[in-house]
Structure 1
Amino acid sequence: MSEYGTGREPEELTFAAAAPVRGGAFTRTWWGRAWLQALEDTALDGQQVKAGRRHARAGAVGAVSVRPGRITAVVQDPDGTAYRADVLVRTLTEEEWDRLLDLAVDSAGHIAALLDHEMPPHLVEDATAVGIDLMPGIGDLEPECGCEAWDHCPHTAALCHQMARILDEDPFALLLMRGRGQRPVVDALQVRSAARAGGGTAAGAPAGAGDAPAGVSAAEAYALRDILPPLPEVPVVAQGPGEPPSLDTETDPEPGVEPAALEFLAADTAARAHRLLAELLAGREVAPAGLTVAQDAVRLAAGRPPGWVAGRLASGTGRSRAELDAATRAWRWGGAAALAVLEGSWTPDEEALARAAARLAEAWEEGEAPELSRSGAHWTAAGARAQLRLGEDGRWWPYRRAADGWAPVGPADRDPAAALTAATAEGERDEESPGSHRLSE
């Protein structure tokens, strides 16, 4: 646990030691992988890096201290011998910080991503373009260890692997290593944003930056107070959609009209309208659905209609009930994209498959990775009930064998190693999976 949220900005953050972990990808974010890539590019001996990864998996890294220019932890060898390991990182100059913050404030998306504890890739790319290396590169992770190794040893490599996990959860730790923690960065972004909005300049920004139109004087605006109508109140979204009307009346319906089906469709329409209104009022852009009839039937079935309605949806789209069950499981994990992976077929290019194979080999220790047989975009683990499926958008979907065939068991991931970890995870409880629900008979 770090010291963020204490009301003061510490010069040093301490992250508690992590429990041992086996198998799977070591880091799940692109910035965590970039950090480990810098370690692999810097270390002269790849065996030391692998030994460090085993140390980190075994939980041999103690609490990690992060401060400007340095990270520190005590790492234990398998025989119990403990060594203090340090990794040094160059801090940014004041001038570099000014340029980086100006880049960040130019995009509301950069600020939103940072506040959501994500490292926006375009910010890193823009910073690199102006000569600021935010992510470490070759030679940027300088080791110091009590074992007196002159290059990266298993102890500093283990520390770097543990730091990758920390960066997954808190990319602000990288900014602290570069010289400033979360509170100073956020405060500086707020000052610059306010200066841009008000037409002024922030401290350290060049004159003329962020100029805005002069606007209306306060006296003129006040004089118009009785002429201009008041602004309407922002509507408040109800907690949920309204109840659809009941069609259970004493009047017999027209031939071919099913009141229960109409009630279900009315409830579905109300729920969609409520969701669209909430997203629009929250400032989120709403893209049109653009679903085919077959896709919309699966979306409706995912809303758990009465059994006979589900039967009509299945027969109306040429599916059996079992096929509709599988389609709704996929829909709940990822909508139309997941459905296309379940029901579609395509042949990916060999370059994409080669990159995936290399990534999987990198993520597992020797002898730990399951053997995979490949058929087009489907990779199946030998001797396991696990499979990976590659979508045309480049994302990997985890599948597991069920009684009625292969079924998706999680959301898609750009990293095939992370998707394979989800597919091979033990102890999954189908009752809690969005894709586990079978349509009522």
Structure 2
Amino acid sequence: MSEHWSGPRYGKTIKVDNGIKAKSKRGDIGATWWSRRFIEVLESFGMGGRLTRGRNYARQGQVLSLSLSTSMVIALVQGSRPTPYKTRIAIKAFTTPEWQRIEHALAGKALYAAKLLAGEMPSDIETLFASLGLQLFPASSRELTMDCTCPDWEVPCKHLAAACYLLAESFDNDPFEILAWRGRSREDLLERLRTLRGTTRAVAAREEAPPLTKCLDTFWQRQTTSSLSFGDPTATVRADAVLDQLDAVPITVRSSNLVDLLRPAYLSLQPPSDASQIAD
């Protein structure tokens, strides 16, 4: 007597209601030049036809979750089997010395950080990377590692392709994610840029000020009005104004803020308003 398989048959995609759906409903996916550039790069590796198969998956919301960490993207995609498939898209991260060069280059261009914080990838950022001998987007398929738990041997399968499209849209939302994918998180990168820009300003200030050994003869001389720039000579500057220039001081004495306690002492040092009373 012949036996017949009575178990579940897989072949029809299991629809989900709570998946992540691509914002694009038709045509190309990717609203910005950098997300479209990412898709173009993948297509240049001969993945165009295979990527297209996952576009409908991305638009139907078959991707249940998508997370990006340093150099790794992991997505769960619902296919034709009850258990979602796990996909991974990894890229070769820049090395520490390479990131140090990138950070110094970015710190030297304040506009770059400003645009990134505004949610925009600078249009010439690829040129900056090229000047360092690097490429922001993968130069070859060897820099990418893709795998999926589905039985399809093709790479990328439609599950991976769907994850790639949603990854491109995540780049639309936050260009910092491209840099995070390359090995430097948003928080770490911004902290490094703040440190480098602060160091650069300090060095510039030291370079502008003449060394003490060059001005010993005039250091203690009284400055004349011709060498100083004054504002309104009739304006009165409060002696406690310097306290208002300080950052908030988290110190209290008997429930009173330290700055408030110091203010009367500073005001007691207020010089007389009549300039004629000031002894020469």
TM range (shorter): 0.5 to 0.7
The answer on 1:195 being equivalent to 2:199 is yes
TM-score (norm 2): 0.65
CA distance in 2, matches of 1:53, 1:222: 76
Change beyond 3 A, Cα 1:224–1:211: closer
Q: CA deviation at 1:142?
A: 2.1
The answer on 1:38 being equivalent to 2:41 is yes
Change beyond 3 A, Cα 1:190–1:221: farther
Unpaired runs of 5+ residues, structure 2, are 1-17, 213-217, 233-280
Query: Are 1:100 and 1:132, in contact at CA under 8 Å, matched by a contact in 2?
Result: no
Query: Are 1:85 and 1:144, in contact at CA under 8 Å, matched by a contact in 2?
Result: yes
Q: CA deviation at 1:118?
A: 1.7
The aligned counterpart of 1:132 is: 134
The aligned counterpart of 1:112 is: 114
CA distance in 1, matches of 2:221, 2:89: 60
Change beyond 3 A, Cα 1:53–1:187: same
Q: Secondary structure at the match of 2:124?
A: helix
The aligned counterpart of 1:178 is: 182
Superposition pairs of residues 216-365 of structure 1, within 5 angstroms:
224=223, 228-231=228-231
CA distance in 1, matches of 2:149, 2:22: 23
Q: CA deviation at 1:81?
A: 5.6
Q: Secondary structure at the match of 1:212?
A: helix
Query: Are 1:104 and 1:123, in contact at CA under 8 Å, matched by a contact in 2?
Result: no
The aligned counterpart of 1:62 is: 64
Pairing partner for 2:170 from 152, 166, 173: 166
Q: Which amino acid aligns with 1:228?
A: L
Q: Which amino acid aligns with 1:91?
A: A
CA distance in 2, matches of 1:189, 1:222: 40
The aligned counterpart of 2:15 is: none
Superposition pairs of residues 359-378 of structure 1, within 5 angstroms:
none
Change beyond 3 A, Cα 1:116–1:42: same
Change beyond 3 A, Cα 1:225–1:134: farther
Change beyond 3 A, Cα 1:178–1:224: farther
The aligned counterpart of 1:23 is: 26
Q: Which amino acid aligns with 2:169?
A: R
Q: CA deviation at 1:70?
A: 0.9
Q: Which amino acid aligns with 1:143?
A: M
Q: CA deviation at 1:35?
A: 1.2
Residues 133-142 or 151-160, more deviating: 133-142
The answer on 1:99 being equivalent to 2:101 is yes
The aligned counterpart of 2:249 is: none
CA distance in 2, matches of 1:125, 1:50: 29
CA distance in 2, matches of 1:120, 1:213: 31
Q: CA deviation at 1:110?
A: 1.2
CA distance in 1, matches of 2:110, 2:78: 44
Q: How many residues align?
A: 207
Structure number with greater CO (CA < 8 Å, separation at least 6) is 2
Q: Secondary structure at the match of 2:85?
A: strand
Change beyond 3 A, Cα 1:109–1:84: same
CA distance in 1, matches of 2:173, 2:207: 37
Unpaired runs of 5+ residues, structure 1, are 1-15, 201-209, 233-441
CA distance in 1, matches of 2:196, 2:128: 18
Query: Are 1:20 and 1:59, in contact at CA under 8 Å, matched by a contact in 2?
Result: yes
Larger Rg: 2
Q: Which amino acid aligns with 2:41?
A: A
Superposition pairs of residues 403-414 of structure 1, within 5 angstroms:
none
Q: Which amino acid aligns with 1:118?
A: E
Q: Secondary structure at the match of 1:63?
A: strand
Q: Percent identity at matched positions?
A: 26
Q: Which amino acid aligns with 2:111?
A: G
